[in-house]
Structure 1
Amino acid sequence: MKREALDLRQRILGVLLRDARIHAGRTLEDCAAFLGISPETLAAYEEGEQPVSLPELEALAYFLNVPVGHFLSTEPKLLGKAPPFNVPEFLALRHRIVGALIRQAREEAGRSPEELARLLGCSLERVQEYEHGERPLPLPELEVLAHTLNRPLEHFLDHVGPVGRQAHREEQAAGEGPVEDEAFRALQQLPPQIREFVLKPINWSYIEIAMKLADLPAGRLREIAEGLLEITY
């Protein structure tokens, strides 16, 4: 192989390394410290001025949460910058969703807020704050409530938000999740208006609520509908 081809491959690897690092939100110093090399050496890798070894590439792939095959592909693709993650907004929404799920499970189990307060050894007001998402529900207490209300802890995990999507991607990479092409084909079969609604991140919280409502018995749905009518009129 000619030297020019080797240099080109070296530069491509450098571009892919830098792209993966930025996508993961890591600095040169982060990655260099992980490898035990200087930031200048890592910068030389990214600029294609110095070749990276396979073991170093494997270690960086692990650190940046990218399959090593991403760097070895004959058709390399850039990952791009990761979308911004608004942590306060995410936490506020997730606290409300977890609280709503607790309330739903409690009502389906025929338990009162007072019973949960006695179970947790806290005030009724605190339980109400948990259910309205006004106070973060500590994980040990959530585990107790999940067990008491006969819900697996996974029931309360984020499935459609940024954390859920990341877990889904990791499952796919490990061969544990559904095939991405099948999911894409299923999405394409949706009516255009529904597909457009589903693809907007701002609507995902509504979709999750709809999923929870779909699990409710008909009687409970009727009660909710009647309550909404009373509020409206």
Structure 2
Amino acid sequence: MSELNPERAKMLGGLIEKAREHFGRTKKECAAVLGVKPAEYSKIESGAYSVSLPQLEALALFLNIPMGYFWGSEPLKSEDELDFANLIALRHRVIGVLLSQQRLRSRQSLADLAETLDMDEALLKSYEMGEEPIPYLHLEQICRQLDVSVNYFLDDVHGPLGRHEAKQKLERQFQRMAPDMQAFLINPVNVSYLDTAKKLSEMDVAQLRQVAESLLEITY
């Protein structure tokens, strides 16, 4: 058997290293997934160890990357890093505004709500100003008093959490589908059919009737 291409082995090892670092995984974690010693895993990334296809598959699953990445047909997912400190500070202010709005809708003064909750009025005001973080369990108590769900205070659909929740929902729905339906959805050839289905779902009854009549005319 001819010798393996050392340049290709080094390139493949570099791709593995890049993916691991991209997702913040350690060599020790990847070695454990592959069932090899950390020293052997280091040789994989340097190109000195011949990695097998099942091992590449395991790494793809562990790092949540497409197999096509290893042969250059698909890139790594690039997501903007969040500034969590600023995000949390902003969310505290937004929740404070929402709290104030809901209190006014319920026709309760700051003093009345503070008294009902058996808390200091100044603390409640600092909540509404976004100056003081509201402990989650305390927020639950406030929600019960204002007759509103905690969901009212959640990040909206346009924020990072909203996008995260939408993605999680899509993944759960996909996993509940039958294997043949999953295969249909991920096949690029079927994109045109899905696009047509989407357009049909947006039509009213009259438009759908017109489409049906046109199909009948073509058939007959």
> Are 1:152 and 2:119 matched, yes or no?
no
Give the direction of change, closer, same or farther, for the CA distance of 1:149–1:19 in structure 2 (3 Å limit): farther
Task: Report the count of equivalent residues.
Answer: 172
Structure 1 residues not aligned, in runs of 5+: 186-233
> Are 1:131 and 2:123 matched, yes or no?
no
Superposed displacement of residue 86, structure 1: 1.6
The equivalent position to 1:170 in structure 2, one of 168, 171, 176, is: 168
| Superposition CA RMSD, Å | 3.9
* TM-score, length-scaled by structure 2: 0.58
Largest Rg, 1 or 2: 2
C-alpha distance in structure 2 between counterparts of 1:132 and 1:120, whole Å: 18
> Are 1:86 and 2:83 matched, yes or no?
yes
Superposed displacement of residue 154, structure 1: 2.1
CA contact (8 A) 2:34 2:58 kept: no
CA contact (8 A) 1:35 1:60 kept: no
Q: What are the residue-to-residue correspondences of 1:197-208 with 2, within 5 Å? A: none
Superposed displacement of residue 120, structure 1: 3.2
Superposed displacement of residue 144, structure 1: 1.5
C-alpha distance in structure 2 between counterparts of 1:166 and 1:55, whole Å: 29
C-alpha distance in structure 2 between counterparts of 1:110 and 1:20, whole Å: 55
Letter in 2 for 1:142: L
Structure 2 residues not aligned, in runs of 5+: 175-184, 186-193, 199-220
3-state SS of 1:174 partner: helix
C-alpha distance in structure 2 between counterparts of 1:125 and 1:28, whole Å: 51
Structure 1, residues 52-84: CA drift from partner, whole Å, max 9, x if none? 67478547735x5x2x6x23678422224x433
CA contact (8 A) 1:103 1:131 kept: yes
CA contact (8 A) 2:106 2:146 kept: yes
Superposed displacement of residue 148, structure 1: 2.5
Superposed displacement of residue 146, structure 1: 2.0
Instruction: Report the counterpart of residue 77 of structure 1 in structure 2.
Output: 75
Structure 1, residues 132-185: CA drift from partner, whole Å, max 9, x if none? 110000000111222322322222222333333333333333337xx9x98xx9
Instruction: Report the counterpart of residue 205 of structure 2 in structure 1.
Output: none
CA contact (8 A) 1:130 1:136 kept: yes
C-alpha distance in structure 2 between counterparts of 1:18 and 1:168, whole Å: 30
Superposed displacement of residue 27, structure 1: 3.8
CA contact (8 A) 1:19 1:78 kept: no
User: Which structure is higher in RCO with an 8 Å CA cutoff and minimum separation 6?
Assistant: 1
Q: State, as a whole percentage, how many aligned pairs show the same letter.
A: 27
Query: Which moves more between the two structures, 135-144 or 97-106?
Result: 97-106
3-state SS of 1:175 partner: helix
Give the direction of change, closer, same or farther, for the CA distance of 1:133–1:164 in structure 2 (3 Å limit): same
Give the direction of change, closer, same or farther, for the CA distance of 1:124–1:11 in structure 2 (3 Å limit): same
C-alpha distance in structure 2 between counterparts of 1:98 and 1:52, whole Å: 51
